[in-house]
Structure 1
Amino acid sequence: MIESGKLDDARKFHARMRSGGVLFGAVLESVLINALMRSGRSSEAFLVFGGMNDRNVVTWTSMISGCVHNGRPEMAFPLLVEMMESGVPPNDFSFNSTLQACAAMSALGQGMQVHSLVIRSGLEDDTRIGNCLIDFYSRCGSVDEPVLVFDSIPDPDVVSFTSLISGFCKNRLFDSAAGAFVDLIRCGVNPNEHTIATILMACHHLLGKQIHGYMIKAGVQRNLYASSALIEFYSRNDCYSEAWEVFSKLEETKSVVTWSSMISCCLRDGREEDALRVFYEMISSETQPNEYTFATLIGACGNHTDLLPLGRQLHGSTIKLGFSSDSRICNALITMYARNSAIKDSETLFDKSATPDVVSWSGVISGYFQNGFPERSVSFLCRMHRRGLTPNEYGFSSAISSCGNLSLLDQGRQLHSLALKTGCDLNLCVGNALISMYSKCGCVDAAKSAFDAMAARDTASWNSLIHGYAHAGRGTEALQVFDEMRNPAVPDGTTFVAVLSACSHAGHADRALEHLKTMQRRHGVAPSAAHYACAVDALGRSGKLLEAARVIGEMPFEADCLAWKTLLAACRRHGSVELGELAARRVMEMEPKDSASYVLLSNLHAARGEWEEVRRMRRMMEDRGVRKEAAWSWIEVGNQVHAFVSTDKSHPSTEVIYRRLEELNAQMREEGYAPALVPSAYEW
């Protein structure tokens, strides 16, 4: 019955005969157990096993092996122990299956006990057991033991070498993996497609080219498994043309893995159109994409807003093909929608996910931050933590950056503490977020401490610290950090925005001009409109208004609104009406609906007592329909942010707040403080 595929009939017949007192014996019942395990019916196999009076080594081994193949590896070692206690000695198949189970659970202690039993049983020279031991130790993260086991094998075969190479790759010992491959060739052992695919994951470019040559000589170039690995190798080494040549020569023998590898290669090389063309050819060849194919393409759609419609089509295809519940695809869709400002779609997908993982949570947290919802980003990370999940570096960096945007210092410190506990504080993007958060919250010394604690720093790390010092008015320290930066890191455009801003705050107008003139020659960074605006600000703060105007006139491109607005603010500060009116006219021409130019020029006239001009500016704003939006301020009290505007009376504690303000004003007057009031005709 079993050989003819009638497993249900065999199971019923066995149950009926057993109830009638018929004993089948260990051999037949072992065959039934093995068939049930292979069919994924492990619970029924355990029922048959439990009712057996006589069990031999095949019975026990079928149970151990079946548990491994049915996702129940934790049952394997107890079965081996029970097998030995029953007086049945394990054979090589029993040990191999148990070692596979220990490897699946990374149960190093149990596996070492099995290794000891192997030696006691006199099977330590068995090549198959040796290969399983190499794989077991490698998957448990051991480095020396696989080599010792390999050296103890009397006659290692291609599987032995492949297991050792794979183990080295798993533990990122790529030089050792390459050395083992060279030893394999020297020993006269012919590598198979699995050996080649494994070593291509680890080798450098020259060795990979040599392996490609060996594949051509050995006639395995068109092996799908090895060719897919070769395409991935060339892709990883930025050799697009070589990868395409390998792919093209496969002709009609391409598999879904090969197609997917080529699509991934196109995307890695920035060839989105080629990736889509390969995908359409794949569909035309009647090769059905798998989860990896969809996840790769959907991820690419998240990097380009114009590909969102295609991303939606791919989403629909995953639903039709039944892939929508796959975690990789779900996470790719969450990220794609978030990056394309479709945060509602991202939320919907997350809510529909049965078991969202860390990547799912982090995708939504990052999406909220990227789409201007910092409060939700922080709240979502806290919710994730309450569910018992540990955020990854992307979740931490987005939530910590959100705290910086909201000036939530206490909340940011709590997230910093959580990152310390989980070890994520050492991650580069988390460290950069901490520097930025503390700087925006006005704690530059804490930002410097976070900077000093980083194991590795990139240009963004230095930029964040320089910006922090500059915005805190500590320009001299910002410039000192820039001087330290130029050796280990390469300044970019953002660096010079921070440096020029620091010069402005420190009163170093001449030094700002020097940086502006030399940044391209010394560092290869061409000045942008933002850099010129910073230089104008530095000159304006120093009262050098004519020089500031000259910088605007000498810009290699037409000055934008920011440069003229910066000059206007400087004119307001130093009372230069004529130049201020010129700057205001240019701003109004570029952005007639922007209220800043009207308000700054009006205040400039008000400071000089020119009230008719103030009224004229007000009428101009009314005629043009320009409205000044009230500026908001906020303060954090007891982990809650309170936002307010000037003369705001919407807060529940308004009476208490204003009473306290009156008390403070009275106290200041008693102590002789006289505020410098600038008269204004209107409340802006």
Structure 2
Amino acid sequence: MRISSCLSFSYFKSLFSTLSSPSRSSRFYSSSSRNQSTKTHSVRPSPRPALGPKSPASYYASLLQSCGVQKAIEPGKQLHARIWQMGLGFNPLLATKLINLYCVCNSLINAHLLFDRISKRSLFLWNVMIRGYAWNGPYEVAISLYYQMQDYGFVPDKFTFPFVLKACSALSAMEEGKKIHEHVIGAGLETDVFVGAALIDMYAKCGCVVSAQQVFDKMVERDVVCWNSMLAAYSQNGQPDDCLSLCREMAYAGVNPTEGTLVISISASADSVLLPQGKELHGYSWRHGFGLNDRVKTALVDMYAKCGSVHVARSLFELLKEKRVVSWNAMISGYAMHGHANQALDLFKEMKEIALLDHITFVGVLAACSQVGCLIKGKMYFRSMLSDYIIRPTVQHYTCMIDLLGHCGHLEEAYNLIMEMRVEPDAGVWGALLHSCKIHGNVELGELALRKLVELEPDNGGNYVILSNMYAQAGKWEGVARLRDVMMDRGLKKSIACSWIEVRNKVHAFSSEDTSHPESEAIYAELKRIGKLMKEAGYAPQIGSVFHDVEDDEKADMVCGHSERLAIAYGLISTALGSRLLIIKNLRVCEDCHVAIKFISKITKREISIRDVNRYHHFKDGLCSCGDFW
């Protein structure tokens, strides 16, 4: 058997010449053939001993090591054939190198076939196989090999545990991960930095942040990987404030950040909509030499867009050396969130010419169409996903289309699209239909959507509230009472509306008709003052947004005490004249507050930005960026 000449002869020639050269490259050495340092004599150096000929196994081991580093699978396969021809197919050193090569090249079938034929397996070899499956899957095989290894009498070491825990992370296999954690404790390796980081990551992927924190707290020595794992645990599980707090603790501990540290922390600022903290991290990244790092800058693009500074996001986007797909997607989604559909679609056209598109790209494009009611364009882009780009619609794409069709009043078409979906509709899809039914007062279809939502998320009281409000709009108070009784019987509660404003690096939270703030009297006095000016300017309360069977005067008082208005009033009395206000709300802005804030922006000559659960509203000079379509 000969090595095929069609595969680069020069490749092998260069490797062999390197091995036989007096100045051998250190990266081709095996661990058993490193040069030993020469001893010196007091008078003159002793002569260097002559090097004997290197064994064939050592030469091939070096070649396989090189193939593994370069992930050169085809030359590696030919070397395997040559080794087999020479009768060295089961040489322990060469077999280990071959299995490692196949694993790093994701050729696990070949790796496993060879592994199964080796009678004397080392712990290192077991670890190589477990690592291969932990990286590439099937992840269940990595866990199975872990237990098989112990059945063969091997004891897992500090390299085994990170690999098998990675497999548990990929499967979100909490119970299996807990068992392995017990083995880690038995081996006395819980405080090892690599094992600890793997445990933190496993618990984070399984949504158990408390357990991840306990592992982190027990670690005596923490390297930057451990810190990053804990930061990610908070960020990935909806605790961005804890992530930012830990980032500050990490800085105080004198641990130098990595690219991952900054990307995770900046993303946490974006999720919390905390622009000052995001700006602080922006400066921190520059001071630590990451000013030209495109991954960090892409995270900043996303952060500035989500925190209301879409123009700053675009400026950073233009400064990127290499615009990757994730960078384009962040900018398109940022424009969509702010209702800037034209800018989003123009950027999409530009992206098509120079970058690959993925399913996230189309989520941003369809969301942009949905925010402003571009029905024709939305339908066109939805069709082109599969026909032009071979991207099958996911639940996210369908949700955007249901929202677009429903907002435009095409409720039956939206329902028919749900019936035609090639994936199972989730709560987001039915929730989009329910919201659209509320906008257009379609009680019958709204009841159907609610029944589906109750099946999918029976403990979400917000869905009942939406239908209850629809009944109230239609004057069906018996329906309101019936749903209220159902919620009481099931122990469900309405989500409390809250709004936040950050003033002088301190976040102030308000709920509806809240009087707990230390400056509550001044806040309500400002609301009264502004209310009088609004009335003189022609404002009349939109009491249809209050779904209670009470008198109109009482309804008017209720809408004036909504949480976003309290936050705005506090901002007006606490910030400089003419400065912009940014308010975050956990629910959708109601119709009356939307009208009222337009009046407030004109009277006070302020730009007021509200980020609700769906999007941004930018109010200026009596107008809103959404064009009253939301």
Same fold (TM over 0.5): yes
Q: Structure 1 487/655 Cα, relative in aligned 2: closer, same or farther at 3 Å?
A: same
Match of 2:26 among 163, 172, 179: 163
Partner of 1:403: 269
Residues in 1 aligned to 2:69 and 2:196: alpha-carbon distance in whole angstroms: 30
Match of 2:542 among 655, 673, 677: 677
1:588-627 mapped onto 2 (5 Å cutoff): 588-592=450-454, 594-596=460-462, 599-600=465-466, 603=469, 611=475, 613-614=476-477, 616-625=479-488, 627=493
Partner of 1:585: 447
Residues in 1 aligned to 2:408 and 2:160: alpha-carbon distance in whole angstroms: 59
Partner of 1:240: 108
Residues in 1 aligned to 2:424 and 2:80: alpha-carbon distance in whole angstroms: 54
Partner of 1:208: 76
Residues in 1 aligned to 2:21 and 2:98: alpha-carbon distance in whole angstroms: 19
Question: Cα deviations across residues 608-634 of structure 1 (Å, max 9, x unaligned)?
Answer: xx54x2464244323442542222221
1:526-675 mapped onto 2 (5 Å cutoff): 526-545=392-411, 547-548=413-414, 551-552=417-418, 555=421, 562-573=428-439, 576-577=440-441, 580-592=442-454, 594-596=460-462, 599-600=465-466, 603=469, 611=475, 613-614=476-477, 616-625=479-488, 627-670=493-536, 672-675=537-540
1:434-445 mapped onto 2 (5 Å cutoff): 434-445=300-311
Partner of 1:413: 279
Residues in 2 aligned to 1:515 and 1:581: alpha-carbon distance in whole angstroms: 30
Checking the alignment, whether the CA contact within 8 Å between 2:142 and 2:167 is kept in structure 1 is no
Checking the alignment, whether the CA contact within 8 Å between 1:404 and 1:436 is kept in structure 2 is yes
1:85-234 mapped onto 2 (5 Å cutoff): 160-163=23-26, 165=28, 191-192=58-59, 195-203=62-70, 204-217=72-85, 219-234=87-102
SS of the residue corresponding to residue 498 of structure 1 reads: helix
Match of 1:293 among 160, 167, 182: 160
Residues in 1 aligned to 2:91 and 2:287: alpha-carbon distance in whole angstroms: 47
Question: Cα deviations across residues 352-375 of structure 1 (Å, max 9, x unaligned)?
Answer: 211111011111111011122111
Checking the alignment, whether the CA contact within 8 Å between 1:166 and 1:199 is kept in structure 2 is no
Q: Structure 1 426/310 Cα, relative in aligned 2: closer, same or farther at 3 Å?
A: farther
**Structure 1 residue 192, shift from structure 2 partner:** 3.5
Partner of 2:230: 364
Question: Cα deviations across residues 620-671 of structure 1 (Å, max 9, x unaligned)?
Answer: 323442542222221112222222222122222222222222233334345x
- TM-score, with normalisation over the residues of structure 1? 0.67
Match of 1:330 among 178, 196, 201: 196
- TM-score, with normalisation over the residues of structure 2? 0.72
Query: Which 5+ residue runs of structure 1 have no aligned equivalent?
Result: 1-149, 168-186
Checking the alignment, whether the CA contact within 8 Å between 1:439 and 1:447 is kept in structure 2 is yes
SS of the residue corresponding to residue 202 of structure 1 reads: helix
Question: Does residue 318 in structure 1 map to residue 181 in structure 2?
Answer: no
Residues in 2 aligned to 1:412 and 1:615: alpha-carbon distance in whole angstroms: 49
Q: Structure 1 651/531 Cα, relative in aligned 2: closer, same or farther at 3 Å?
A: same
Question: Cα deviations across residues 203-241 of structure 1 (Å, max 9, x unaligned)?
Answer: 422222233234335555444344322212111222112
Checking the alignment, whether the CA contact within 8 Å between 2:469 and 2:480 is kept in structure 1 is no
SS of the residue corresponding to residue 500 of structure 2 reads: strand
Checking the alignment, whether the CA contact within 8 Å between 2:64 and 2:101 is kept in structure 1 is no
Which residue type is aligned with residue 161 of structure 1? R
Question: Does residue 283 in structure 1 map to residue 283 in structure 2?
Answer: no
Checking the alignment, whether the CA contact within 8 Å between 1:235 and 1:243 is kept in structure 2 is yes
Q: Structure 1 227/423 Cα, relative in aligned 2: closer, same or farther at 3 Å?
A: farther
SS of the residue corresponding to residue 302 of structure 1 reads: helix
Question: Does residue 273 in structure 1 map to residue 140 in structure 2?
Answer: yes
SS of the residue corresponding to residue 652 of structure 1 reads: coil
Identify which range, 672-681 or 294-303, moves more after superposition.
Answer: 672-681
Which residue type is aligned with residue 233 of structure 1? L
Residues in 1 aligned to 2:510 and 2:501: alpha-carbon distance in whole angstroms: 9
Question: Cα deviations across residues 419-460 of structure 1 (Å, max 9, x unaligned)?
Answer: 233344555653443232222111112222333333444433
Residues in 2 aligned to 1:657 and 1:288: alpha-carbon distance in whole angstroms: 66
Checking the alignment, whether the CA contact within 8 Å between 2:437 and 2:446 is kept in structure 1 is no
Question: Does residue 483 in structure 1 map to residue 346 in structure 2?
Answer: no
**Structure 1 residue 200, shift from structure 2 partner:** 2.9
Which residue type is aligned with residue 293 of structure 1? T
Which residue type is aligned with residue 235 of structure 1? C
Which residue type is aligned with residue 542 of structure 2? L
SS of the residue corresponding to residue 201 of structure 1 reads: helix
SS of the residue corresponding to residue 354 of structure 1 reads: coil
Checking the alignment, whether the CA contact within 8 Å between 1:215 and 1:221 is kept in structure 2 is yes
Identify which range, 588-597 or 505-514, moves more after superposition.
Answer: 588-597
Checking the alignment, whether the CA contact within 8 Å between 1:162 and 1:195 is kept in structure 2 is no
1:511-526 mapped onto 2 (5 Å cutoff): 511-526=377-392
| Greater relative contact order (Cα < 8 A, sep 6+) | 2
Which residue type is aligned with residue 337 of structure 1? Y
Match of 1:355 among 217, 221, 236: 221
Residues in 2 aligned to 1:283 and 1:400: alpha-carbon distance in whole angstroms: 42
Residues in 2 aligned to 1:429 and 1:345: alpha-carbon distance in whole angstroms: 30
Checking the alignment, whether the CA contact within 8 Å between 2:209 and 2:234 is kept in structure 1 is yes
Identify which range, 620-629 or 506-515, moves more after superposition.
Answer: 620-629
**Structure 1 residue 385, shift from structure 2 partner:** 0.7
Which residue type is aligned with residue 674 of structure 1? Y
Checking the alignment, whether the CA contact within 8 Å between 2:431 and 2:453 is kept in structure 1 is no
Query: Which 5+ residue runs of structure 2 have no aligned equivalent?
Result: 1-13, 31-52, 549-557, 560-630
Residues in 2 aligned to 1:531 and 1:156: alpha-carbon distance in whole angstroms: 56
Q: Structure 1 205/624 Cα, relative in aligned 2: closer, same or farther at 3 Å?
A: closer
Residues in 1 aligned to 2:22 and 2:186: alpha-carbon distance in whole angstroms: 40
**Structure 1 residue 555, shift from structure 2 partner:** 4.7
Which residue type is aligned with residue 234 of structure 1? Y
Percent identity between the two aligned chains: 30
Residues in 1 aligned to 2:147 and 2:399: alpha-carbon distance in whole angstroms: 48
Residues in 1 aligned to 2:140 and 2:21: alpha-carbon distance in whole angstroms: 41
**Structure 1 residue 606, shift from structure 2 partner:** 5.7
Residues in 2 aligned to 1:529 and 1:294: alpha-carbon distance in whole angstroms: 36
Q: Structure 1 481/614 Cα, relative in aligned 2: closer, same or farther at 3 Å?
A: farther
Checking the alignment, whether the CA contact within 8 Å between 1:264 and 1:275 is kept in structure 2 is yes
Partner of 2:117: 249
Give the helix-richer structure, 1 or 2. 1
Which residue type is aligned with residue 63 of structure 2? I
Checking the alignment, whether the CA contact within 8 Å between 1:598 and 1:617 is kept in structure 2 is no
Question: Does residue 262 in structure 1 map to residue 129 in structure 2?
Answer: yes
Residues in 1 aligned to 2:254 and 2:529: alpha-carbon distance in whole angstroms: 48
